Amino acid sequence: MLYDSIIIGTGPAGVSAALNLKILGKNFLWLGSGSGSKKVEAAELIRNYPGLPNISGTELAAAFKAHAEGMGIAPQSGVVTAIYDLSGRYAVQAGTETYESKTIILCTGVAAAKPIAGEENFLGRGVSYCATCDGFLYRGKTIAVLLFDKSFEHEAEYLATLAQKVYLMPMYKNCEVQAKNVEIMLKMPREIAGGMKAERLIFSDGELAVDGIFILRSSISPATLLRGLKTEGGHIAVDRQCRTNLAGVFAAGDCTGRPYQYVKAAGEGNVAAHAAVDYLAENK
């Protein structure tokens, strides 16, 4: 199926884009976390969302969910690991699935972690963001898994069923992955190095040779997700219609720059949805 639009991200920007595309009658797919945004839930007290004084983050998250459900829309769970420009349409990869769309609305929030040196260079050449897509390539091999979030532990466990040896580097406390071929290392590599493909991780106190490296985190830098996307200072460059430099690609919310605020994200989600609809009308 070719969608009119694919929205990526389930924070306020994504919610707003989805509500508006629904109202405007478009055929769209909404991808992200099924449980909204951690950055909404985390707020103790929100004092600057118009019309909802002193609402808590969990209340706002519940209101977003109820609003979307009331309009018959719900996000589909999935972390997008790549978007490909197919000249006139885009292919979006989430897990083992690929979806196609005429437009894309990026609402991915601000990437918390900076890419590791060498990460973007070796992506697809020994570096992967997706265990289910690429795990089979490392059957019987030695791999490193950099785990940034507990929610990816099942992916690390899956990789341990395929690889001969897994060096697991959790970037949080209380990692619960256990398997006899898994060795936990409590350190962060400073660089990925190699020749034609990634071959080793470099630490401040030495190196580790591996056949492949899985980086499992929920935020991937926008320019890595979609090659050719223009960024400025780590944010996606957009104009006042939330249009990026790529035809049919729009961006909204924290990913486009400061201030990092709910209402700015929701406002831009609205603008991006309208701009996507204008684009669809102009490019029938």
Binding positions for ligand FAD, rule: CB under 6 A: 8-14, 31-33, 37, 39-40, 42-43, 46, 48, 79-80, 107-109, 218-220, 253-254, 260-263, 265
Q: Considering the complex, what minimum distance in angstroms separates the CB of residue 182 from ligand FAD?
A: 25
Residues 168, 145: contact at Cβ < 8 Å? yes
Min CB(97)–ligand FAD separation in Å:
12
Q: Give the whole-angstrom CA distance, residue 2 versus residue 100.
A: 5
User: Between 14 and 126, whose beta carbon lies closer to ligand FAD?
Assistant: 14
- Exposure string of 163-175, with b = 16+ CB inside 10 Å and e = fewer, is beebbbbbeeeeb
End-to-end CA distance of the chain: 16
Taking the complex as a whole, the smallest distance from the CB of residue 207 to ligand FAD amounts, in Å, to 29
The two tokens of residue 119 are 């990460």
Q: Which is nearer to ligand FAD, 80 or 242 (CB)?
A: 80
Q: Which is nearer to ligand FAD, 98 or 181 (CB)?
A: 98
User: Nearer to ligand FAD by C-beta: 230 or 258?
Assistant: 258
Pick 192 or 255: Cβ nearer ligand FAD: 255
Residues 6+ away with beta carbon under 8 Å from 128:
134, 137, 212, 213, 214, 215
Smallest gap, in angstroms, from Cβ of residue 107 to ligand FAD? Answer: 5
Minimum CB separation of residue 46 from ligand FAD in Å reads 4
Does an H or E element contain 64, and which? helix 57-70
Alpha-carbon span 237 to 217, nearest angstrom:
23
Measured from the CB of residue 133, what is the shortest distance to ligand FAD in angstroms? 13
CB of 132 to ligand FAD, least distance (A): 14
163 versus 271: smaller Cβ distance to ligand FAD: 271
Q: Which long-range contacts (CB under 8 A, 24 or more apart) does 115-120 make?
A: 115/221, 115/224, 116/146, 116/189, 116/190, 116/191, 116/192, 116/215, 117/190, 117/191, 117/192, 118/191, 118/192, 118/193, 118/194, 118/198, 119/192, 119/215, 119/224, 120/221, 120/223, 120/224
Measured from the CB atom, is 8 or 21 closer to ligand FAD?
Answer: 8
What torsion, rounded to 10 degrees, do the Cα atoms 276, 37, 128, 232 define?
60
